[in-house]
Chain A
Amino acid sequence: MAIEKILKDDASEEKGERARMASFVGAIAITDLVKTTLGPKGMDKILQSTGRGHEVTVTNDGATILKSLHIDNPAAKVLIDISKVQDDEVGDGTTSVVVLAGELLREAEKLVAAKIHPMTIISGYRMAAECARNALLQRVVDNKENAEKFKSDLMKIAMTTLSSKILSQDKEHFAQLAVDAVMRLKGSTNLEAIQIIKKPGGSLKDSFLDEGFILDKKIGLGQPKRIENAKILVANTAMDTDKVKIYGARVRVDSMSKVAEIEGAEKEKMREKVKKILGHGINCFVNRQLIYNFPEELFADAGILAIEHADFDGIERLALVTGGEIASTFDNPESVKLGHCKLIEEIMIGEDKLIHFSGVEMGQACTIVLRGASHHVLDEAERSLHDALCVLSQTVNDTRVLLGGGWPEMVMAKEVDELARKTPGKKSHAIEAFSRALVAIPTIIADNAGLDSADLVAKLRAEHHKEGCNAGIDVISGSVGDMAELGISEAFKVKQAVLLSATEAAEMILRVDEIITCAPRKREDRM
């Protein structure tokens, strides 16, 4: 008798070798997809959305590429997930983590074909990952004590991160921007405090960091365009019609005159509110919500700069920079903390008018204005800058630094190789495979740069045989160079996260020996 069908109609089930094959193929396909974006000479991808307008994104950020893919293969989904987590956690290395996991699986496939049990491979990988991490730990440089050196470390990391992105032409400029911005955060990782304003026009070089704060808003009509020694009240309150919030209240009138009276009362109420606000002795008022014409006029009469509809982030940042608190009631002016700044003025960037707050008290937030030829360039610049900022802010907390340019991979590979030689049993094959997967990364970097990877990597390996070697791939000159001299650095935290999550993901996929796909949920066709 035929084996009973136990799953639902459209469900599918893949077992043993087939299941493993499906995962390997899926994961390796994803890896090959993003592989070409790795390294300073990595290429970009164009992504076209299926949504309305078929928006186009040009990027070489691994996380962004993978996020926009619609994948059906479950193993591929695991890889996309680790890249997302890498993005959230450290911000950079999103491509590397996928490539390393993919290479680990590619090596594992060969081992499985050579009849080594996946569990043996996993335990080998685990030992290798541990060993690799220790190798890195031994070679990290920590310049926490020396502020000057640490700053130059940050600068190098920023340049290294940016060199693989669209900003690489002006990487010094942008690295400086990013380092300055992150140093202002004073150890906080809240990147929300760094505002990035994109204005098309000009060139990337014209981008700048503003010490103060720029709000992308217009100043109300007839109000002063320039205020010195501003006292700012940051508010989140309704300045349109101040509704009565008690439930069920409604206005019921029987004649036109009554309507007028109520309207008068409403106006009176608003006038009183404005008066109370004025009672704080301010000369600038920033509100999160709308300000209607009437109160705006009142503010203009009092010679106060009123800014409406600043979004929530804007308000929060403004509160951070100026040191004021966000107010919603105005009954006790003496205890509300006002924000201060030396000068508020309207400035022009390109064609747009913006409000510029300078000479602020607390420098925790700042603004970076990006200029560039097109929206695509700006978007990509923003992503790149975001990566750099993420890495820097993480490095400020964990100050350990490594060299870049394939150096860490070679150091790890060497140690792992050594371990393989010492380990008896089948595990040593897996450990060797791990080291091969590590070496694949500098190979890909070299390949992407159009260099002779086999030659370079072999040279590199020979160099690394010496103790305390700083050799890595110098993509610019196309040879093996001293990474310390070239100033190519990476954050230890990023490398560690790459190593651990890639191993974890590879392990997870290797352990699978059966894939059961449930019948897709039927969607009602509304079309």
Chain B
Amino acid sequence: MALAFDEYGRPFIILKEQEQKTRLRGIEAQKANISAGKAVARILRTSLGPKGMDKMLQSPDGDVTITNDGATILEQMDVDNQIAKLMVELSRSQDYEIGDGTTGVVVMAGALLEQAERLLERGIHPIRIAEGYEMASRIAVEHLDHIAQKFDFGPTNIEPLVQTCMTTLSSKIVNRCKRPLAEIAVKAVLSVADLERKDVNLDLIKVEGKVGGKLEDTELVYGITVDKDMSHPQMPKKIDDAKIAILTCPFEPPKPKTKHKVDIDTVEKFQTLRQQEQKYFDDMVQKCKDVGATLVICQWGFDDEANHLLMHRNLPAVRWVGGVELELIAIATGGRIVPRFQELTPEKLGRAGLVREKSFGTTKDKMLYIEHCANSRAVTIFIRGGNKMMIEETKRSIHDALCVARNLIRNNSIVYGGGSAEISCSIAVEAAADKYPGVEQYAIRAFADALDSVSIALAENSGLQPIETLSAVKSQQIKENNPHFGIDCNDVGTNDMREQNVFETLIGKQQQILLATQVVKMILKIDDVISPSDF
């Protein structure tokens, strides 16, 4: 493929190895990009909404994931196309920022691209389309601010939060027990939330899963669970009012970092060394005992002798606890992580009301529960379920619910779900379009159509007549001037989303529109794709 020729018809070489590269330019490039973006959106389209279907993904190693979380699907899909990768990024950034609405954002972007394609065919310049989209998105976001409602909740009145989390969970496989799970998520978030600063540190919530039992057995533990057991089978399985020494040094003879050698050349030396060794183990255990610890949690292993000494002195211990868990335990119990035995002091011990070992099923699975901690800020959500994929999917769903609850604590504005916000925005954008002179007007109208198509997807997935339903809802919204009408996905009988208690967070929705617009703008601006041709 030649790019430019001199007067004798010889090609200039501009790109390195340009013979081996394929190149798409101009309208061709835009069309190719758009169709790739649309292909990704098409995959996710059927996962949208409470009646959305799941995808089964088989990883390169043969593991199976079943999910309807947009971000997870795209991440596991292992896409190759550059533009498709952009869409994956889009969904991921929605996941990082908001945590929910990862499917919606991709469907939205797909719809925008589809509309853009039509405009391109009419000969409108891509940049004008992009600018029109930009204006439209601003209108939509402002309109969302306008129709959003604040609602009040507090530590005592968690009902609104629970309702919002239930909306999120209703599109997942766990919707069978969305109520208890939503309650768990809200309680977890509230117990770690800093209501003064309106911030939530989700790192303090640990989500653990173990196969077996049923979904209903999922519980919220006010404390930490560790997938470990006591280092010695005969140590007590339950400790009340535990004082916990959290150590990052092993119960083993010291290993100085500098290289050294201890030479044994006489019998005396051999014997002193032996005594020292014994004393060393004794000292270690004694130090823990001296500061009043009743439980030792250690990041490393124990020597057999040390283990027995611990057992002997009635000091239960847990070994090989991971770094992250160690930190969480330290936060929860208010203890300090101690790197050396010499530095153990009574103040550095953590406190927990109850530490117990719990065993599951017929195998030797045991877990350690650390509960009633001094500082109950760290909590654990412990998920049970029939199989591994179920647990994984529940984990993802809970994560979404947690994010939603967090967003609400940060900003308590909500909009109504079920496509009502999109339809209302679409009406507003449509109305505003006429005020703009110039070609952008078309792009703004196209934006309104794209907003509609999200609701259409929702209706399609719910088995309703998409166009009929949408137009009915739209006319109802305009007639009654009420932005709460949406698609009645669950066949409840009313399409007033306020009555159905279907909420979404305002920032989540705004973010969706902004992110989708941004990515579409980026894709539209590309007019030249150079890639190494197939090998």
Contact = CB atoms under 8 A, between A and B. Distances in A.
Interface stretch (A105-113, A252-260, A347-355, A367-375): A252-260
B380 to A, nearest CB: 21
Contacts of A521: 60-61
Contacts of B276: 246
A265 B267 contact: yes
B480 interface: no
B267 A261 contact: yes
B265 A126 contact: no
Contact of A117 (B215, B264, B463): B463
B362 interface: yes
B361 interface: yes
Contacts of B252: 245
B262 A246 contact: yes
Nearest to B463: A117
A446 interface: no
B301 to A, nearest CB: 13
Contact of B58 (A3, A247, A265, A516): A516
A518 B77 contact: yes
Interface stretch (B49-57, B147-155, B435-443): B49-57
B262 A249 contact: yes
**Which among B53, B57, B254 has the highest number of chain A CB atoms within 10 Å?**
B53
B212 interface: yes
Interface string B240-258: 0000000000001111100
A192 to B, nearest CB: 6
A189 B312 contact: no
A89 B213 contact: yes
A102 interface: no
Contacts of A325: 234, 311-312
Contacts of B256: 247-248
Contact of A252 (B59, B80, B263, B361): B263
Interface string B76-87: 111111011000
Interface string A324-345: 0111110110011000000000
A250 B262 contact: yes
A144 to B, nearest CB: 20
Interface in B370-412: 385-390
Contacts of B32: 1, 4
Contacts of A1: 31-32, 35
A486 interface: no
B58 A507 contact: no
B54 A319 contact: no
Given A191-B362, A500-B386, A521-B61, A516 B66 contact: no
Interface string A62-86: 0000000000101101100110010
A327 B76 CA distance: 50
A237 interface: yes
B253 A390 contact: no
A205 to B, nearest CB: 27
A190 interface: yes
B47 to A, nearest CB: 8
A501 B264 CA distance: 63
A6 B43 CA distance: 11
B96 interface: no
A248 B232 CA distance: 28
Contacts of A514: 43, 46, 53, 55-56
Interface in A464-516: 500-501, 504-505, 507-508, 511-516
B308 interface: yes
A4 B277 contact: no
B54 A513 contact: yes
B364 interface: yes
A248 B312 contact: no
A302 interface: no
Nearest to A254: B265
A88 B361 contact: yes
A108 B512 CA distance: 36
B81 A6 contact: yes
A192 B76 CA distance: 39
A124 interface: no
B59 A250 contact: no
Given A8-B78, A245-B252, A265-B267, A190 B55 contact: no
B362 A90 contact: yes
A269 interface: yes
Interface string A253-278: 11000100110111001000000000
Interface string A1-38: 10111111101010000010001000000000000000
A119 B362 contact: no
Nearest to B32: A4
B211 interface: yes
A519 interface: yes
A507 B173 contact: yes
Interface residues on chain A, size class: 35 or more
**Which among B62, B261, B277 has the highest number of chain A CB atoms within 10 Å?**
B62
B212 A78 contact: no
B326 interface: no
Contact of A118 (B53, B66, B253, B385): B53
A316 interface: yes
A501 B234 contact: no
A507 B174 CA distance: 11
Nearest to A501: B386
**Which among A331, A335, A511 has the highest number of chain B CB atoms within 10 Å?**
A511
A85 B312 contact: no
Given A237-B304, A247-B255, A269-B274, A91 B56 contact: no
Contacts of B271: 265, 269
A527 interface: no
A424 interface: no
A516 B55 contact: yes
A251 interface: yes
Contacts of A247: 253-256
B362 A236 contact: no
B334 to A, nearest CB: 33
A60 interface: no
B25 interface: no
A51 interface: no
**Which among B54, B276, B307, B359 has the highest number of chain A CB atoms within 10 Å?**
B54
Contacts of B493: none
A244 B277 contact: yes
B340 interface: no
Contact of A7 (B66, B79, B255): B79
A245 B253 CA distance: 6
B388 A81 contact: yes
A68 to B, nearest CB: 16
Interface in B285-317: 303-305, 307-309, 311-312
Nearest to A258: B265
A266 B271 CA distance: 9
B56 A316 contact: no
A53 interface: no
A469 B360 CA distance: 35
A153 to B, nearest CB: 19
26 contacts: A5-B80, A5-B81, A82-B387, A85-B386, A87-B362, A119-B51, A119-B53, A190-B364, A245-B277, A246-B254, A246-B280, A248-B256, A249-B273, A250-B261, A251-B270, A254-B265, A265-B270, A269-B270, A326-B232, A329-B312, A331-B278, A332-B312, A504-B387, A511-B66, A513-B55, A518-B58
Interface of B: 31-32, 35-36, 39-40, 43, 46, 51, 53-62, 64, 66, 68, 73, 76-81, 83-84, 173, 176, 211-215, 232-234, 252-256, 259-267, 270-271, 273-274, 276-278, 280-281, 303-305, 307-309, 311-312, 359-365, 385-390, 463
Given A72-B62, A254-B265, A512-B54, 16 more contacts: A4-B32, A4-B83, A90-B362, A246-B253, A251-B264, A265-B270, A316-B233, A328-B304, A329-B312, A332-B312, A504-B390, A505-B387, A514-B53, A516-B77, A517-B58, A521-B60
Q: Which 6 A-B pairs have the closest CB atoms?
A: A328-B308, A513-B53, A501-B386, A521-B60, A89-B212, A4-B36
